[in-house]
Structure 1
């Protein structure tokens, strides 16, 4: 990857498109938002694969992320809570708990920050609308 500086941050070209990063959210994605997005996106993607492999039928997944930062230490990210809302009918909570445990162990982004950022993953199951 190569990042080129511009007046308000940095940019990089990827196959999917241009990524603009800036400490000011008027000019690009903020670094902490990209960090949290990579954790949530990776964890959600792995969870989808695990649920499918376990033959757990679901209709949709939404992810809510909450970040705890420490203003006394360069606004360091100390904790990321990732909450999965899984929509479906007749879904076993026990199986989803096992799937989430497996996905956390296999998410490269969660494993990359292990020991420096506390990642807490929770879930709830909601009935799909008929």
Structure 2
């Protein structure tokens, strides 16, 4: 069992009941501050929504003053002013999401919920995300 899975195991049964501030606080504690902010700014307020979002980093492609500070914290800025998600942040969130998917897929008996989990392939398996 991977490190994150081991850490989250005692909480996985209850995390589906976490919403809004409780969910963000949980993500902040177990995944990271910036990772929590990435979810909060998008109003991904619970596990159900999180598992339905195909790419939690896509919003970083938007040019908006509302997300500029977060982009500067979450990304590297290249000389040609492109933003690339920091590998640690990308890995943390993807590992968290994958752990949740595995858990809910293995415990779910609801066919509709399981079929919604097949969005795993939607997360791009590139070495970096350009924002």
Q: What TM-score, normalized by structure 2, do the two folds share? A: 0.29
Write 1 or 2 for the structure with the bigger share of strand.
Answer: 1
Query: Which structure's CA Rg is the greater one?
Result: 1
Query: Higher relative CO (CA 8 A, sep ≥ 6), structure 1 or 2?
Result: 2
Q: What TM-score, normalized by structure 1, do the two folds share? A: 0.30
Write 1 or 2 for the structure with the bigger share of helix.
Answer: 2
